[in-house]
A and B are shown apart, each in its own frame.
Chain A
Amino acid sequence: MSTVSTESVPVKQAMLGLIPNLRAFAVSLCGDVERADDLVQETLLKAWNHLDSFEEGTNLRAWLFTILRNTYFSECRRRRREVEDRDGNKADELAVHPGQQGHLDMQDFRRALNLLPPDQREALVLVGAAGFSYEEAASVSGCAVGTIKSRVNRARSKLSELLGVTTAREYGPDSATEAIVARTVGASRSG
């Protein structure tokens, strides 16, 4: 069909159509809307300048996601120190606010997601939210399918572990949870 054209115009239009997806991926990866939009902008510029290296007919979304995640991860390496400080505070908040019993709160969830190692968070978002197959996710992340599977599994159990504190439902009313939290705070101060 004529849709398999060598004209680059359809690719550009498709790029525009994929921006909402790119933004969603970027926000899920870095947890910050402004930074996410900067990532998207950089991705679009890089993609534009490298359009000739995109093979028409292949998965444009995966290609753009690849550029975005590579941009994100190299930025992460540059900003390592800064991120370390910020995440340290997040860890404290999460540890002392286990949330409502039996209910996974959106904010707790965001915090827990941000606490995951970036490669695990990426795998989880690609497969669990963006709807990529394991194979596609592997090609985006530049690793083996088995690696993606294990990252997704580790991400899930890590999230469960981080949010597992909210399963206090089984163990009685709030007072029990509060007592535990109080002890935890004490323990973390002395330890």
Chain B
Amino acid sequence: MAGKDSSTRQSAGAGQLERPAREYTAKRKLYVVRNENDHDNAKETGRKRRGMLDRTQQAQLGNLLRSIFSDVAEEPVPDRFVKLLEALEAREKKQ
């Protein structure tokens, strides 16, 4: 890894991007929903935690994640990037 360059290596602080106030708002609203849902079933679900997805839905979740990625990864390279690399190469040859 070419890790020393500060412009290409600057990973600290990623965790600080979380914004607690907003997170809390989203969580609280959803919590109300789940709280209603779980009212009767809390005991029956046993080890399954509140709001957790069942196995099928977990698999679905994995598939959705992969398809968001692969939908784009399977697209052809846009022209602008082919041209960009050509231009960079041409510039280098001149030097």
Contacts and interface: CB of A to CB of B under 8 A. Distances in A.
The answer to whether A binds B is yes
Interface of A: 12, 15-16, 19-21, 23-25, 27-28, 33, 36-37, 40-41, 44-48, 50, 53-55, 58-59, 62-63, 66-67, 69-70, 73-74, 76-77, 80, 84, 87-88, 91, 94-95, 98, 102-104, 106, 109-110, 113, 115, 117-119, 122, 124-125, 128-130, 139, 141-143, 156-157, 159-168, 170-171, 180-181, 183-184, 187-188, 191
A73 B68 contact: no
B72 A41 contact: no
Q: Which size bracket describes the interface of B in this complex? A: 35 or more
Contact of A104 (B5, B60, B84): B60
A113 B68 contact: yes
Identify the 7 closest CB pairs spanning chains A and B, nearest first: A142-B11, A164-B51, A53-B2, A129-B69, A24-B73, A91-B26, A95-B29
25 contacts: A16-B77, A16-B82, A20-B77, A23-B72, A28-B72, A37-B78, A44-B88, A48-B88, A53-B2, A53-B5, A55-B2, A66-B11, A73-B10, A80-B17, A95-B29, A102-B57, A103-B60, A141-B14, A142-B12, A143-B14, A159-B61, A165-B30, A171-B41, A180-B36, A183-B32
Main SS at interface, chain B: helix
Given A24-B72, A130-B69, A66 B33 contact: no
B53 interface: yes
Contacts of B70: 24, 129
Contacts of B53: 104, 160, 163-164, 167
B72 A12 contact: no
A164 B34 contact: yes
Contacts of B34: 161, 164-165
Interface string B1-35: 11111011111111101110011011111101110
B68 A183 contact: no
Contacts of A69: 11
Contacts of B76: 20
A112 to B, nearest CB: 9
Given A20-B75, A142-B9, A167-B51, A124 B65 contact: yes
Nearest to B53: A160
A21 B73 contact: yes
A24 B2 contact: no
Given A23-B75, A37-B80, A142-B11, 12 more contacts: A23-B72, A23-B78, A41-B80, A66-B9, A70-B7, A73-B11, A84-B22, A106-B68, A117-B17, A119-B15, A160-B52, A180-B36
